[in-house]
Amino acid sequence: KQEVTQIPAALSVPEGENLVLNCSFTDSAIYNLQWFRQDPGKGLTSLLLIQSSQREQTSGRLNASLDKSSGRSTLYIAASQPGDSATYLCARDLDQTGANNLFFGTGTRLTVIP
């Protein structure tokens, strides 16, 4: 049974701090790993997509890495801001259909304190 685990479940940091969110998964035979942001009462917003052949992706203050051999992905947020407060979800391919079907972790709820 595949699992996606995100640790910690919740995290509070002061503004300006650099932080790392962790995502671990069983079954290293993944194709894609995606990170999403979810604001309360809202849908998900895609942050970064790492394809299987890639090791990392960067967008602004965000950097995501993928290590298939260890079954881990990390999301690094530099110089955190109060606007970064949200729940961050990682997701891997659910199956081998080649469709964009994802299996999600339960998320890390981040609070950035001004």
Partner 1 sequence: NAGVTQTPKFQVLKTGQSMTLQCAQDMNHEYMSWYRQDPGMGLRLIHYSVGAGITDQGEVPNGYNVSRSTTEDFPLRLLSAAPSQTSVYFCASSWSRGTGELFFGEGSRLTVL
Shortest approach of partner 1 to residue 91 CB, angstroms? Answer: 8
Q: Which of residues 20-39 bind partner 1 (CB under 8 A)?
A: 31-32, 34, 36
The order of strands in the sheet holding 4-7 is: 4-7, 19-25, 72-77, 62-67, 56-59
Confirm or reject binding of residue 51 to partner 1 (CB under 8 A): yes
Shortest approach of partner 1 to residue 92 CB, angstroms? Answer: 11
Stretch that binds partner 1, among 12-20, 59-67, 71-79, 88-96 (CB under 8 A): 88-96
> Nearest to residue 57, comparing CAs of 9, 87, 90?
90
HSE, CB side, 13 Å, CA atoms: give it for residue 11. Answer: 24
Q: Name the helix (H) or strand (E) containing 31.
A: none
- Give me the residues that bind partner 1 (CB under 8 A), please: 4, 31-32, 34, 36, 41-46, 49, 51, 89, 91, 94, 97-107
